Amino acid sequence: MKAARRSPGEVLPLLAIWVPVLVSILYVVGFTLYTVWIAFTPSTLLPEYGWVGLKNYVAILHTRNWNIAAANIVVYSVCFLALTTFLGLLLAVLLDQKLRGENVFRTIFLYPLAVSFVVTGVVWGWLLNPGIGIQKVVVGLGWTDFRFDWLVDRDRALYCIVLAGAWQASGFAMALFLAGLRSVDADLMKAAQIDGAGPLRTYRRVVLPTIWPIFIAVFVILLQFAIKTFDLAVALTGGGPGISTVLPSMVVYDFMFQRGLLGRGSAAAVLQLLMLVAVLVPYGVFRRWQTLKAARNA
């Protein structure tokens, strides 16, 4: 066996890979299991190790906060996904036109991603506040009838979070789409052009269908962004007006840390995890089906 006498040059890469992997597994899997367990205990301020069955889940599912949050996350995820994908694709297609200064634009569009969610939330909170933001400026300019008060409207405040979220994430979607667009075979584009397809038709019928796996990737990544949205909403609306824009992650934080009910907060966290699982498992099955199909065709 050579393994007993490996040179440092051989051991180092193994260390570099396995130590972080083991630590991540311990952290992610270990603490997930711990949270699942706590959700079945009567824990309040500190973890306690009794057993209360599904009591915490029943209690959480009966709160107004959770029910509002669950409805909100569906609306938010769908809108956020649609808007971000649309904007990201639009930017990518525009950047794909071999413009001069593409790098500059790409950097500008990607930049919001470098800003923390809290900063995004605070800044958009000012911009969207009718009393100090856009509305005030436009009214001050003379359009006295101008109204843009979604942030203080119970039924529309959620869409403000969508707007700010899309602003932040569409650059990321753009980068993925752009990579996809660049990977499309140039011959395919040329063939379409020779056949007389205009640019719009080329994209719609030739380019986009070839990069559809990118769409799936973007959807999945954005969806898990959406489901764990927390700081953005806290900084932007604080869950308000009232509790009309609370999201599941805020309910988790509220119960665990503000109310000091670790068991209930953990139950909410597990429910949130189940939402992610509901999205990711079908995706995993789909991927598996695809590889199987590809293997059969080969």
Partner 1 sequence: MNPISRRSLLAASGAAVISQSAPRLARAAGKPRVTVITQWSAGSDGAAITALGELFTKAGGDWQHNPVPGFTTDMMNKLRAQILSGDPPAVSQLKGPEIAAWSKIAPTVNLDADVAAAGYEKVVAPELIKLHKPFGHWISLPLQVYRINSIWISKKAADKVGVTALPKTWAEYNAIGEKMAKAGIQPVANGGTKWDNGMIWEIALSGISPAAYRKAVMELDAATLKGPEVLAAFEQTRKMSLWMDPNTASQHYSTFIPKFMKGDAGMLLMGGWVQGVYKKAGYQYSDYMTGPAPQDNGKPAFDLNADAFIFWQRKEPEFTAGQHLLAKLVMEKDTQKMYSGITGSLPVRTDMDLSDPTFSDAQREASASLAAAVKADQSVLSLAHNMAQPNQITAAMIDSLVEFVTDHSISPKKGQERLAEAVDNVR
Residues of the shown chain interacting with partner 1 in the complex, contacts defined by CB under 8 A: 8, 12, 44-46, 62-65, 125, 128-132, 149, 151-152, 154, 157, 236-244, 254, 257-261
Closer residue to partner 1 (CB): 120 or 202: 120
List the end-to-end C-alpha distance of the chain, in Å, as a whole number. 38
CB nearer to partner 1: pick between 115 and 132? 132
Q: Nearer Cβ to partner 1, position 151 or 267?
A: 151
Q: How far is the CB of 15 from partner 1 (least distance, A)?
A: 11
Which lies closer to partner 1 via its Cβ, residue 18 or residue 257? 257
Select from 271, 235, 270 the least CA-distant residue to 67. 271
Closer residue to partner 1, CB minimum distance, 8 or 209: 8
Whole-angstrom distance, CA of residue 75 vs CA of residue 57:
23
H helices of the chain, in order, are 8-25, 31-38, 55-61, 64-95, 102-110, 117-128, 134-140, 157-183, 186-194, 199-201, 208-210, 212-227, 231-236, 248-253, 262-297
Tokens representing 224? 């898990």
In the complex, the smallest distance separating the C-beta of residue 177 from partner 1, rounded to whole angstroms, is: 33
213 vs 242 by CB, closer to partner 1: 242
Give the nearest distance from C-beta 236 to partner 1 in angstroms.
Answer: 7
Q: Closest approach of Cβ 194 to partner 1, in Å?
A: 56
Task: Report the alpha-carbon angle 111-115-252, nearest 5.
Answer: 135
Q: CB of 269: closest distance to partner 1 in angstroms?
A: 15
Shortest separation between residue 138's beta carbon and partner 1, angstroms = 14
Spatial CB neighbours of 28, under 8 Å, sequence gap ≥ 6: none
Backbone angles phi, psi at 202, to 5 degrees: -60, -45
140 vs 96: CA distance, rounded Å: 39
Q: How far is the CB of 274 from partner 1 (least distance, A)?
A: 23
Region of 218 (left: φ > 0; alpha: ψ -120 to 50; beta: rest) is alpha
Pick 105 or 126: Cβ nearer partner 1 = 126
Q: Among residues 59 and 184, whose Cβ is nearest to partner 1?
A: 59
What residue type is assigned to position 145 of the chain? D
**CB neighbour list of residue 205: distance below 8 Å, 6 or more residues apart:** 192, 197
Nearest approach, Cβ of 60 to partner 1 (angstroms)? Answer: 11
CB 229 within 8 A of CB 161: yes
In the block, tokens 């300019």 appear at 141
What is the CA 91 to chain-centroid distance, rounded?
A: 19
